[in-house]
Amino acid sequence: MYLGRIVAAGLTADGKPVAAYRVSSRSFPNRSANLANGMISIIPRKGHEDDLSKNPYIAYHCVRLSGSVALATNGSQTDPIIEKIISGMSVRDAFALSLLAMDYEKDSLDTPRIAAAIDAETKICTLGIVRKDAILVKQFEAKPGAVYYLSTYEKNAPCRKQIDEAFAATDAASACQAVINGGIFAGFDNPVTAAAAVWNGTSYDLAVQDA
């Protein structure tokens, strides 16, 4: 099944808060997740920089942090969401306001904007999407070894049944691997690259991995 981009949030098998992102793509597969300066970006792979002239939506920050909150998204909404959280706005309101303001991507597919976050203090997952026909933001209580997920296509409404309850990751590197080809994610087509943030007790560790 092809879901497009995927965001996920929850707890690792040993109870560490995790937020993760996976690029799945048929049109622009030549991309990588790049870790620098405490954040992760999606960028074209070397030799494919001209893809940006074909679609300006394919490069963006995908994972950013604010204290106990780790955020993963599929587009430029990452920055306004995290900046509102940094300013003191609740995660739910930061999602709702930013997704409403930015709207879905105006590309040929009307690609939805999606986002997922975990708060290490409250253990609450927030998932949100803005599609051409809806804006949805929901929160769920996290549980060990499980992540809630949301995608641009097919699984494009946050709900309790969209959960991987066999999420075997224990750190950021294994979380990347898990969303590429572990558990329920193994059944989703065209993985390209992944990014993850996992709480280490005092802050988030970050990792990236190409499929």
Pick from 164, 157, 85, 145: which is nearest to 121 by CA? Answer: 85
Residue (of 120, 184, 118) closest to 151 by Cα position: 184
Q: What is the arithmetic mean of pLDDT over 127-146?
A: 97
Spatial distance between the Cα atoms of 82 and 97, rounded to a whole number of angstroms: 12
The pLDDT tens digits for 67-89 are 999 999 999 999 999 999 999 99
CA dist 97 and 81 (Å) reads 8
Which string of b and e fits 31-45 if b means at least 16 CB within 10 Å? bbbbeeeebbbbbbe
User: What was the pLDDT predicted at 51?
Assistant: 93
Look up residue 76 and give its two tokens.
Answer: 């430029």
pTM of the full structure: 0.97
Q: What pLDDT is recorded for position 72?
A: 99
Band (pLDDT 50/70/90 cuts) for residue 25 is very high
Radius of gyration (C-alpha) of the chain in whole angstroms:
15
> Residues near 207 by Cβ (< 8 Å), separated by ≥ 6?
35, 171, 172, 173, 175, 176, 195, 196, 198
Domains of the chain and any CATH numbers: 6-210 (3.60.20.20)
Residue 198 confidence (pLDDT): 98
Both tokens assigned to 88? 């003191």
pLDDT in the model for residue 147 = 98
Percent of the chain with pLDDT over 70: 100
Given CA atoms 49, 54, 56, 62 in this order, what sign does their dihedral have?
negative
pLDDT band at 162 (very low <50, low <70, confident <90, very high): very high
pLDDT of residue 118: 98
State the pLDDT at residue 175.
Answer: 98
Q: What does the pLDDT look like over 91-109, one tens digit per residue?
A: 999 999 999 999 999 999 9
CA pair distance 175, 17, nearest whole angstrom? 11
Task: Report pLDDT for 132.
Answer: 97
Q: Percent of the chain scored above 90 by pLDDT?
A: 99
